[in-house]
């Protein structure tokens, strides 16, 4: 059973700054504006909507808004937008609101944030709780869902924007299947808090949250976004049937009974090296190549979440 997330009661919002980046989503800027306006309510509270232009730095824009005194920063967009806005909030007391408008919306799924635009707008403007979530630090930035090396990075790199708009999550699945047919396992050296392991694997994933895309499945049991740890999931390459057996055990929730799934855990840092450079994805974007060293950043950002089910 997944453990309950640690929450605090609502923090009142007096100044709200909305970062609207809907290029990869299904909603129009006008629809987002209308939905936000419908729930803003009190006229004495200041609200501002910013739609970044080409080349504008979202992280710096968010930091300026925090410096100006905005106490709630809302990310209206996909996982990349949420990650960029959250990066600008690390270390601040401002709260992060999420209007999930992307293809996968992994963090929104993990936190139970409504995927319907109207409901998400109502949440950030109405009654809610606040949860302090962890982050993974790498290359001067922070990542909040997963950092992956292997099939997932290739899938993200090679799925084009038009396919995502047309097919949604199916576009990622199709790319994953085509890559899996030709993909060769690689040898990895993985260090978790200084303890080193070696593996021949299809995928190494650093999970801050456990949600596997928008499928409702999880990378493993007891992976929590607020436990101060990184869970390392290793999908080993046993034989040609291994990927099918792994998929079946993931669907059934029997991750730890599968001989080709291994787990490590780290409270400080994780390092991954491969026999040759491989692409690395973080929060759904390609962010570099191996080798990588990732550190744990506990309670990095405060996020607006729904009240737990009674």
3-state SS record for the chain: CCCCCCEECCCCCCEEEEEEECCCCCCCHHHHHHHHHHHHCCCCCEEEEECCCCCCCHHHHHHHHHHCCCCEEEEEECHHHHHHHHHHHCCCCCEEEEEECCCCCHHHHHHCCCCCHHHHHHHHHCCCEEEEEEEEEECCEEECCEEEEEHHHHHHHHCCHHHHHHHCHHHHHHHHHHHHHHCCCEEEEEEECCEEEEEEEEEEEEECCCECCCCCCECCCCCCCCCCCEEEEEEECCCCCHHHHHHHHHHHCCHHHCCCEEEEEECCEEEEEECCCCEEEECCEEEEECCEEEEEEEEEEEEEECCCCC
Is residue 44, in this structure, part of any structural domain at all? yes
Is residue 96, in this structure, part of any structural domain at all? yes
Place of tokens 């650093």: 206
Give the tens place of pLDDT for each residue, 169-213: 555 554 555 555 555 778 999 999 999 999 988 889 999 988 776
Is residue 25, in this structure, part of any structural domain at all? yes
**Residues 148 and 109 both lie in one domain:** no
**Residues 129 and 154 both lie in one domain:** no
Q: What is the pLDDT of residue 1?
A: 39
Q: What is the pLDDT of residue 302?
A: 96
**Residues 78 and 167 both lie in one domain:** no
Is residue 2, in this structure, part of any structural domain at all? no
**Residues 85 and 149 both lie in one domain:** no
| Pair 98, 303: CB distance under 8 Å | yes
**Residues 216 and 282 both lie in one domain:** yes
Residue 185 tokens, joined? 């396992």
Q: What is the pLDDT of residue 95?
A: 96
Among residues 136, 139, 140, which one has the least CA distance to residue 231? Answer: 136
Give the tens place of pLDDT for each residue, 137-169: 999 999 999 999 987 777 766 555 665 555 555
Is residue 138, in this structure, part of any structural domain at all? no
- Pick out the chain residues at pLDDT < 50: 1-2, 174, 248-249, 252, 257, 310
CATH number at residue 153: 2.60.200.40
Is residue 80, in this structure, part of any structural domain at all? yes
**Residues 294 and 147 both lie in one domain:** yes
CATH number at residue 30: 3.40.50.10330
CA dist., res. 116 & res. 113, Å (int): 9
**Residues 171 and 55 both lie in one domain:** no
Is residue 235, in this structure, part of any structural domain at all? yes
**Residues 147 and 240 both lie in one domain:** yes
**Residues 184 and 79 both lie in one domain:** no
Q: What is the pLDDT of residue 248?
A: 43
Q: What is the pLDDT of residue 252?
A: 46
**Residues 113 and 185 both lie in one domain:** no
Residue 58 belongs to what domain range?
7-133+301-305
**Residues 65 and 106 both lie in one domain:** yes
**Residues 94 and 223 both lie in one domain:** no
Task: Name the domain count of the chain.
Answer: 2
Is residue 310, in this structure, part of any structural domain at all? no
């Amino acid at each position: 059973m997944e453990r309950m997330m640690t929450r605090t009661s609502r923090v009142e919002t007096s100044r709200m700054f909305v970062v609207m980046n809907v290029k990869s989503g299904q909603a129009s800027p006008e629809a987002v504006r209308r939905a936000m306006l419908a729930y803003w309510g009190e006229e004495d509270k200041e609200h501002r909507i910013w739609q970044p232009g080409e080349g504008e730095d979202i992280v710096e824009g968010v930091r300026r808004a925090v410096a100006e005194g905005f106490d709630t920063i809302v990310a209206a967009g996909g996982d990349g937008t949420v990650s960029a806005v959250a990066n600008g909030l690390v270390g601040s007391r401002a709260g992060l609101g999420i209007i999930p408008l992307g293809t996968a919306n992994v963090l929104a799924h993990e936190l139970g944030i409504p995927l319907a635009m109207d409901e998400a707008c109502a949440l950030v403007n109405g009654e809610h709780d606040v949860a302090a979530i962890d982050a993974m630090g790498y290359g001067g930035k922070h990542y909040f869902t997963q950092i992956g090396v292997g099939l997932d990075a290739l899938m993200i790199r090679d799925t084009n924007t038009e396919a995502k708009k047309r097919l949604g999550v199916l576009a990622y699945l199709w790319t994953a299947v085509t890559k899996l047919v030709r993909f060769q396992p690689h040898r990895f050296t993985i260090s978790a808090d200084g303890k080193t392991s070696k593996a021949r694997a299809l995928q190494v994933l650093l999970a801050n949250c456990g949600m596997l895309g928008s499928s409702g499945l999880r990378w493993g049991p007891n992976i929590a976004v607020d436990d101060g740890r990184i869970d390392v999931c290793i999908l080993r390459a046993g034989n040609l049937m291994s990927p099918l057996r792994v998929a079946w055990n993931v669907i059934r929730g029997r991750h730890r009974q599968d001989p080709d799934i291994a787990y490590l855990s780290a409270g400080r840092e994780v390092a991954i090296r491969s026999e040759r450079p491989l692409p690395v994805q973080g929060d759904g974007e390609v962010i570099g190549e191996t080798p990588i060293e990732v550190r744990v950043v506990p309670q990095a950002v405060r996020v607006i979440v729904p009240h737990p089910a009674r």
